[in-house]
Amino acid sequence: MLNNIIKKMKYNFDKKLVKFILKKKIYQKRDPDLHQFILMFGSLVFQLYRSGMVLGLYDLLDKEEGLKFEELSQKLQIENYPLKVLLNSLEFLQVILKIGEKYYNNPTITFSALKKHNKLFSMNSTIEYFNMVVDPTFTELPTSIKENKPMGLYKVYGEDCNSFYEEISNDPTKVEYFSTFMQGFTNVNTDEVTSESIFGKCKNILDVGGNKGVISVALAKKHPKLKATVFDYPEVIKLAQQRFEKHNLSNRLSVLSGNALESIPAGYDCMTMFHFIDIFSPEQNKIILKNIYDALPDKGIVCIFTPITYLNKRCVNDLMGSYFLNLANGKGEFYNVEEIKHWLGSTKFSIIEEKYFTFNEVFLVAQKNIS
Ligand SMILES: C[S@@+](CC[C@H](N)C(=O)[O-])C[C@H]1O[C@@H](n2cnc3c(N)ncnc32)[C@H](O)[C@@H]1O
């Protein structure tokens, strides 16, 4: 018994010591030009990082910290030459670190760190979505910037194409990559945001741009009396329908196809816009909010959940403007809260809740008050 306790204490101490040495190493060994190299060789760096993921290196080092070269070669079944190429590059990039003969994940940037901060964020689906759908279009970015047009979108679907979301919804492989990425991203806060007490007061929700119904399913499971309808493009709602059947929720969850920019159906006391406003320009968002306002009854509410940027500091969401400009329709970006609140105010909504979530996301609830 005592032996076991001492063993466990030693194990925990060793683990802490390794983490301490790893963190020290990160700062000591950083090449002063690393940032510059990452910028210059970005595509190569991305594929190296992705290779470590696809080949199971980070998962392995997560499970068995501190493996030697030969052990990695044997467990990953990779020959010496390519393994050396991979490990040396990832070590230079400080994705993995080496103490003596043993390799470790960098505790501050690889999967273990992300898992610690938020177990549900799916790095794999984000990387695969960018690899398969986004990156091939990004050679067009300078032209997109110069001409203020989504040249990446045009490269793949032609200049007279419809919305990016409509186009990928007709492409089963791409829509799967997109929906899986979206689900991985949405999952970060789904549990918390769908637990918000305001949803307990709603009877019938229209989940505008609800994609494959991740939010609707979570809402229905948390609030047993609630009904919800995913409103999205015709091909997308098929995915939502399948999901509802899989979860045995078809009695309370349904789907409806349409375009939020044209009109929004009435008959709902709450409308959700989750990860939706960022794909539109401010002018388009005002049109959609007006459509929602007109469709809601008095005291009906709209719930916006979206990543945000800040006026006084930069964050990773500022990087994503290029994704919307080049590919996802050439109009959107992540907005700051003041701007979103301004659109709501000018549509005559009164804001009744404002709450901030991890990963720079905000939850805003606004009500229609005629009386
Ligand atoms: C970024 S995804 C968000 C998905 C989901 N709400 C979530 O949080 O995971 C945007 C969704 O809006 C849909 N969409 C885009 N433009 C739309 C429009 N004009 N009318 C209705 N749905 C639209 C897309 O097909 C896609 O499913």
- What is the residue with the minimal CA distance to atom 11 of ligand 1? 209
CATH code of 277's domain: 3.40.50.150
In this structure, are 104 and 193 located in the same domain?
no
Ligand 1 neighbours by CB, cut-off 6 Å: 163, 165, 169, 182, 186, 209-211, 214-215, 232-233, 236, 259-261, 274-276, 279
In this structure, are 183 and 254 located in the same domain?
yes
From 102, 117, 132, the end of a domain falls on: 117
Q: Report how many domains make up the chain.
A: 2
pLDDT at 188: 83
DSSP letter string, 324-340: HHHTSTTT--PPBHHHH
In this structure, are 25 and 45 located in the same domain?
yes
In this prediction, residue 184 has a pLDDT band, given cuts at 50, 70 and 90, of confident
- What is the residue with the minimal CA distance to atom 4 of ligand 1? 211
102 C-alpha to ligand 1 centroid (Å): 46
State how far the Cα of 274 lies from the Cα of 324, in Å rounded to an integer.
Answer: 16
Question: Which residues is 19 bridged to in the sheet?
Answer: none
In this structure, are 89 and 148 located in the same domain?
no
Token pair listed for 300: 């009906």
State how far the Cα of 210 lies from the Cα of 242, in Å rounded to an integer.
Answer: 13
pLDDT digits (tens, 9 = 90+) for 97-117: 999 999 999 887 755 545 555
In this structure, are 177 and 287 located in the same domain?
yes
CATH code of 84's domain: 1.10.10.10
In this structure, are 234 and 249 located in the same domain?
yes
In this structure, are 208 and 267 located in the same domain?
yes
**DSSP helix/strand/coil, 60:** helix
Token pair listed for 219: 């809402």
Pure H helices in 93-233: 111-117, 123-129, 141-147, 151-157, 164-169, 172-194, 214-222
pLDDT digits (tens, 9 = 90+) for 305-350: 999 999 999 998 999 999 999 999 999 999 999 999 999 999 999 9
Over residues 282-309, the mean pLDDT reads 98
pLDDT at 50: 95
In this prediction, residue 28 has a pLDDT band, given cuts at 50, 70 and 90, of low
285 C-alpha to ligand 1 centroid (Å): 13
- The pLDDT of residue 13 is above 60: yes
- The pLDDT of residue 20 is above 80: no
From 206, 261, 276, mutation site for ligand 1 pocket: most ligand atoms within 8 A of C-beta: 276
pLDDT digits (tens, 9 = 90+) for 129-176: 999 999 999 999 999 999 999 999 999 999 999 889 989 988 989 988
pLDDT at 64: 93
Contact 291, 319 (CB under 8 A): no
Contact 185, 152 (CB under 8 A): no
In this structure, are 112 and 130 located in the same domain?
no
pLDDT at 112: 53
275 C-alpha to ligand 1 centroid (Å): 7
214 C-alpha to ligand 1 centroid (Å): 12
pLDDT digits (tens, 9 = 90+) for 51-71: 999 999 998 998 998 999 999
In this structure, are 327 and 213 located in the same domain?
yes
Mean pLDDT of the chain: 92
> Would you call 163 exposed, middle or buried from its count of C-beta atoms within 10 A (0-12, 13-18, 19+)?
middle
233 C-alpha to ligand 1 centroid (Å): 8
State how far the Cα of 321 lies from the Cα of 244, in Å rounded to an integer.
Answer: 32
In this prediction, residue 257 has a pLDDT band, given cuts at 50, 70 and 90, of very high
From 214, 233, 274, 306, mutation site for ligand 1 pocket: most ligand atoms within 8 A of C-beta: 233
231 C-alpha to ligand 1 centroid (Å): 8
CA distances for 137 relative to 152, 307, 325, angstroms: 4, 23, 11
Q: Which residues contact 320 (CB under 8 A, 6 or more apart)?
A: 278, 307, 333, 334
In this structure, are 228 and 90 located in the same domain?
no
Angle between helix 214-222 and 234-246 (nearest 10):
40
From 73, 100, 117, the end of a domain falls on: 117
311 C-alpha to ligand 1 centroid (Å): 26
- What is the residue with the minimal CA distance to atom 3 of ligand 1? 275
93 C-alpha to ligand 1 centroid (Å): 36
137-145 long-range contacts, CB within 8 A, separation 24+:
137/326, 137/327, 138/322, 138/326, 138/327, 140/326, 141/322, 141/325, 141/326, 144/322, 144/325, 144/326, 144/330, 145/325
Question: Ligand 1 atom closest to Cα of 182?
Answer: 9
In this structure, are 216 and 87 located in the same domain?
no
Task: Tell me which residue range forms the domain holding 286.
Answer: 123-368
Angle between helix 42-54 and 80-92 (nearest 10):
120
In this structure, are 170 and 103 located in the same domain?
no
From 97, 117, 137, the end of a domain falls on: 117
pLDDT at 9: 75
pLDDT digits (tens, 9 = 90+) for 262-279: 999 999 999 999 999 999
In this prediction, residue 27 has a pLDDT band, given cuts at 50, 70 and 90, of low
From 211, 304, 327, mutation site for ligand 1 pocket: most ligand atoms within 8 A of C-beta: 211
List, in sequence order, every beta strand (DSSP E) within the chain: 67-68, 96-99, 102-105, 204-208, 227-232, 253-257, 270-274, 301-307, 349-357, 361-368
Question: Ligand 1 atom closest to Cα of 186?
Answer: 9
